[in-house]
Amino acid sequence: MPSCPRCDAPIDDDARYCAQCGAPQTEDAAEELDEYVQRQAEQVAGGSGGGKPEGGGSAGSDAFPPMEELSDREQLWRRGSYVLGYGTIVVALTRVPAAESWPLILGGIAILPPIRRLTAEPLGSPLKREVMAGAYAVFALIGIALFVLLG
């Protein structure tokens, strides 16, 4: 019984790929794998795999341009959202057993920029910054109120 040249696992005579490491065992399998990797690389480089939902839609790459293409105001919003969101989550995690930590965690999550991407597909468009800030404020106020009342 032959073995895989990459991992030395035993393989069948007619195996195209190694069952242990996935290495191609025939020239045809190697060419097929190369073509697949090339297609995937072209897809990623061409932007067609960059967060666009299947079948197009308004949540495509135009809705979320790379950081370099954003205005100064949008970059400041995005960076501030990360700082505020993760900061709130870290503070809330220090109080996890307490009831006030959960609204603070939700508020921190609500303000994070990736939430815009995650909600864009089911909602049809990304949440506006004002909506995200409002959700953060509501959760933060609930958490602070619980802290004052229960603390």
**47-51, 60-64, 71-75, 81-85: which is most confident:** 81-85
pLDDT, greater one: 88 or 61? 88
Count CB atoms within 10 A of the CB of residue 7. 13
How far apart CA 78 and CA 50 sit, in angstroms, is 19
Return d(Cα 57, Cα 24) in angstroms, integer.
37
Give the pLDDT confidence score for residue 142 in this predicted structure.
92
Instruction: Judge contact between 101 and 89, C-beta under 8 A.
Output: no
Q: pLDDT at residue 78 above 50?
A: yes
Higher pLDDT, 94 or 64: 94
Scan for tokens 């954003």, then name that residue.
70
pLDDT in tens, 33-69: 888 888 888 777 765 444 444 444 444 444 555 656 7
What is the SS3 assignment for 37-65?
HHHHHHHHHHCCCCCCCCCCCCCCCCCCC
Q: Which residue has the tokens 């303000």?
A: 111
- Estimate the crossing angle of helix 129-150 against helix 101-111, to 10 degrees: 170
